[in-house]
Structure 1
Amino acid sequence: MKTFREQIVADNTAAFINFLEFAEEHNLNGILCDAIIQDVSIAESLSTGNGADQTYAGIYGSRLQINCLAEALPELPVYGQLFGIDDKQYLVESCADDMGILTIQLVANDR
């Protein structure tokens, strides 16, 4: 019987980051790996009301959320780091490691 941690590692690839669900191969900062990329609309956060205190207020931008295996990248991205996704450059807003799966928030100025 597998330990809990061993089962988590197995599930990360078999259930969460796999081609049968939502993962696709992407170039993450020069590394080809399986990842789930979600385009998060930031239209509201760039408006004057509720999002006035957000980063990049008042300009057009885009925000992505990336999920990939932590072991796929040689180092964890850090706040403010330039980070390439396929053919576009973004800035890292945050990065969290949740039991071996990274959630990376990226922002870009699209003007």
Structure 2
Amino acid sequence: MKSFNDFLNDDLLIFVNPAEMGEKAIVDGKELCVTITHNSIDEKKRLISRGYDIEPQGVYNVMMTMYVRLSDLGFVPVRGALMTVNDKEYTVIGAGEEKGLVTVRLERNGNAYN
């Protein structure tokens, strides 16, 4: 009989699966299955209200949240670290892990998500 954690792991496989909700991305030179959401101004306000120090670094800022399995990424990034996602360099503005899923909030200067 499957345990609760087995069911959670199965759900993670669906969440980051490119055939379902996820997509393939090159993260720090490694191809991973991730789910990426692009953050709006409202999301930026929400993050600020939760204590994230998000000060614009340039004229344009691109923010996104990336979800990836801990077993795939291998670590939880620290705030201020640099990460390259699909050949674009981002600064980690927040990260955490829960039940095997790493949530990474990223920001970079620019005016487009791609």
TM, length-normalised to structure 2:
0.79
CA distance in 2, matches of 1:31, 1:93: 21
Question: What residue number does 1:73 align with?
Answer: 73
- Equivalent position SS for 2:79: coil
Q: Is the aligned partner of 1:17 residue 2:16?
A: yes
CA distance in 2, matches of 1:107, 1:65: 9
Question: What residue number does 1:84 align with?
Answer: 84
- Equivalent position SS for 1:6: helix
Report if aligned partners of 2:82, 2:91 keep a CA contact under 8 Å in 1.
Answer: yes
Report if aligned partners of 1:42, 1:62 keep a CA contact under 8 Å in 2.
Answer: no
Instruction: Give structure 1 regions of 4+ aligned residues with deviation exceeding 3 angstroms.
Output: 42-46
Question: What residue number does 2:25 align with?
Answer: 26
Give the CA RMSD over aligned residues: 2.5
Report if aligned partners of 2:57, 2:109 keep a CA contact under 8 Å in 1.
Answer: no
Question: What residue number does 2:36 align with?
Answer: 37
Question: What residue number does 2:59 align with?
Answer: 59
- Equivalent position SS for 1:20: coil
Q: Number of residues paired by the alignment? A: 105
Structure of larger gyration radius:
1
| 1:94/1:44 CA distance change after superposition, 3 Å | closer
Letter in 2 for 1:89: E
Question: Which digits, 9 at most, give the CA deviation of each residue in 1:26-71, with x for residues without a partner?
Answer: 011221110111111348959xxx9xx7421773110011011111
Gaps of 5+ in 1: none
Deviation at 1:76, TM superposition (A): 1.6
**Structure 1 vs Structure 2: percent identity of aligned residues?**
28
